[in-house]
Structures are given as structure tokens and as C-alpha cells.
């Protein structure tokens, strides 16, 4: 739910990252700017572009970059790799766009946390194709074929409580919700593994319920397995060799990253032995295979 973007707004090291062919784009939530990292020599170019209010995600579609700005309810488009501005697209008041994914090279799907909708966007024309209702407080999303899998956190902003978490299947042809797959509390991120399964990280409620990883079969729309992780991991990245990295926060003394062996479906590094980093890890991206 919204905690991810709140963390981005208040911790300098809370940043989204997306990989290009040779470069890494870092989105600074507090500074509302983008940095470039040259992966071959780790050279950092800071503040290469100004983003909108509370940027929460960054998509790459060929030579176009798209910043998803939560508080300003808009998308910023950039030419890559120069990061020259191409234009903006306002999605509407009260949307709070949370994250997004590519449908294909010309179209993207954005989840809107506050309006409980998803928005289809045409990238070349920077225009809205349509906005469609989904479950309450959607966050992570991934597209497989003509189906979008949307994480429904069911967070109720009126009383700050969580309902049953779901992954909703959304048909991109009919633009309708087809089914609900029940998962744990607060599903925040989802990705397609190289083994063909979908992986969903449920963060829990930050107090009495801890993180759980779910494994889903796209063909049947069913849960295959689940793995208690512990802590409160909020986003994931998967390597070709089947190692998952989980951004697990850490806002006192150090940040934390957990790892999971997807082949064995077992935790390698969890709350008891995390990888320590700088404060406030809210997102991870895999740029090479490692454990």
C-alpha cells in the first residue's frame, strides 16, 4: 500500500532503479530527480532529470523512459539515454499512480492506488487509452500475454486496515477483471520468473503479520506454493539463475535485503541474516546473476 511511497518521500536512499543496456537509472523519491549509473565503471551522474512529485516507478520502453509520479498524478516521458523531456501526461486528480508495466512496446498499464483503477497509456502519443476499475488499492502489476496480474492490497484508507489480499487477473482485450486469486496480506509486488511461474510478495501489515512469498501458475490461475519470509519485504527482483532479491526496508542503523532460492523454494538470507545496505531499501533490480 501507500507505505512504499511514504518511505520514498522520507528516506534519501529509498529509490527506484531500472536497468538500460549499460546504465542504471536511479529515481530519487526525496529529491524528485533521476541519476544515471554507468554499470561498467560505476560512474554516477547525479540529477540528470527533474521528475514529478513523489516519483514511485520508472518504466523503459525502447528509447523512452516513463516516470510514474504518485503525488502529482502524472507521468513524465523522457528520451533515452539523454533523459531529454518529451512531455507529460496527467492521469487525473486523486489517482496516486503507484507503479506500471509495459503491455507491449507502445502501451503501458499503470495502477492507481487511491482510485482503485488501472490506466492504459499509449506511449508514442502520451495519451490515455482508458481507465478501468479493479480491486481496492492496487499496487504491483505484471503482464503475461493478454492478461495483467494486479496486486490488490485491499487497504482501506478510511480506517487504515487491510482486507484479504488478492491477485486479480485483468483481461487486456475486454478490459475486465476475470478472476481473483487469494494470497496473503498486502501483496505489493509481482514478477514473472524465468521458470514460468508468477511470484508475489505479500508484505504483511507491518505489525502482527510478516512477509510471505506466493508462487502462482499463470495457466491455472492458482497458488502452487507459499513460503514464509518474515520481516516486511515490499518489492522483488529475479535473476536468470533463480535467485530472488527482496527489498526489506531497514530504517534503523542499516537497510536490509533478503534472498530466496526459487529452485529450492527456500530462504537464503532472511530477517536473521539479511544483506545489510544503506538505510531504507524499498526497491531492487537484478542486473547480473548473484546470490
pLDDT of residue 24: 82
Q: Which three cell numbers stand for residue 166?
A: 488478492
What percentage of residues in the chain have a pLDDT greater than 70? 91
The helix (run of H) or strand (run of E) holding residue 102 is strand 97-102
Do 136 and 154 form a contact (C-beta atoms < 8 A)?
yes
Q: Using CA atoms, how far apart are residues 115 and 163, in angstroms rounded to an integer?
A: 17
User: Given pLDDT bands bounded at 50, 70 and 90, which one contains residue 2?
Assistant: very low
Residue 153 has, within 13 A of its CA and on its CB side, a CA count of 34
pLDDT tens track for 11-43 = 333 456 665 555 788 888 878 998 888 878 878
Residue 210: pLDDT above 80?
A: yes
Residue 235: pLDDT above 90?
A: yes
Look over the chain and give the mean of its residue pLDDT values, rounded to a whole number. Answer: 90
Q: Using CA atoms, how far apart are residues 16 and 10, in angstroms rounded to an integer?
A: 14
Residue 273: pLDDT above 70?
A: yes
CATH architecture for residues 3-230: 7 Propeller (2.130)
Q: Where are the domains of the chain?
A: 3-230
Sign of CA dihedral 268, 273, 278, 282: positive
Residue 109: pLDDT above 90?
A: yes
If you search the block for the grid coordinates 527482483, which residue do you land on? 237
Q: Using CA atoms, how far apart are residues 228 and 267, in angstroms rounded to an integer?
A: 9
pLDDT of residue 50: 92
Q: Using CA atoms, how far apart are residues 220 and 217, in angstroms rounded to an integer?
A: 6
Q: Which three cell numbers stand for residue 235?
A: 518489492
Q: Using CA atoms, how far apart are residues 184 and 173, in angstroms rounded to an integer?
A: 28
Amino acid at each position: 500500500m501507500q507505505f512504499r511511497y511514504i518511505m520514498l518521500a522520507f528516506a534519501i536512499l529509498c529509490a527506484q532503479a531500472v536497468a538500460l543496456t549499460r546504465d542504471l537509472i536511479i529515481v530519487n523519491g526525496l529529491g524528485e530527480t533521476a541519476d544515471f549509473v554507468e554499470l561498467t565503471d560505476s560512474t554516477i551522474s547525479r540529477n540528470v532529470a527533474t521528475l514529478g512529485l513523489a516519483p514511485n516507478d520508472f518504466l523503459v520502453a525502447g528509447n523512452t523512459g516513463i516516470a510514474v509520479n504518485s503525488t502529482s498524478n502524472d507521468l513524465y516521458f523522457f528520451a533515452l539515454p539523454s533523459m531529454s523531456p518529451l512531455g507529460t501526461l496527467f492521469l487525473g486528480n486523486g489517482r496516486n499512480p503507484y507503479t506500471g508495466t509495459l503491455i507491449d512496446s507502445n502501451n503501458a498499464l499503470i495502477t492507481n492506488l487511491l482510485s482503485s483503477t488501472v490506466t492504459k497509456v499509449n506511449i508514442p502519443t502520451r495519451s490515455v487509452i482508458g481507465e478501468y476499475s479493479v480491486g481496492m488499492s492496487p499496487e504491483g502489476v505484471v503482464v503475461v500475454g493478454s492478461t495483467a496480474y494486479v496486486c490488490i492490497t485491499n487497504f482501506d484508507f478510511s480506517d487504515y486496515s487491510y482486507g484479504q489480499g488478492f491477485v486479480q487477473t485483468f483481461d487486456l482485450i475486454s478490459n475486465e477483471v476475470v478472476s481473483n486469486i487469494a494470497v496473503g496480506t498486502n501483496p505489493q509486488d509481482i514478477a514473472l520468473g524465468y521458470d514460468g511461474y508468477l511470484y508475489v510478495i505479500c508484505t504483511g501489515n507491518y505489525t502482527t503479520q510478516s512477509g510471505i512469498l506466493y508462487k502462482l501458475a499463470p495457466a491455472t490461475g492458482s497458488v502452487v506454493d507459499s513460503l514464509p519470509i518474515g520481516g516486511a519485504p515490499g518489492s522483488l527482483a529475479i535473476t536468470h539463475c533463480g535467485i530472488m532479491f527482496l527489498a526489506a526496508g531497514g530504517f534503523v542503523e542499516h537497510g536490509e535485503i533478503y534472498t530466496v532460492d526459487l529452485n529450492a523454494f527456500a530462504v537464503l538470507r532472511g530477517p536473521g541474516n539479511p544483506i545489510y545496505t544503506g538505510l531504507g531499501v524499498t526497491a531492487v533490480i537484478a542486473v547480473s546473476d548473484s546470490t
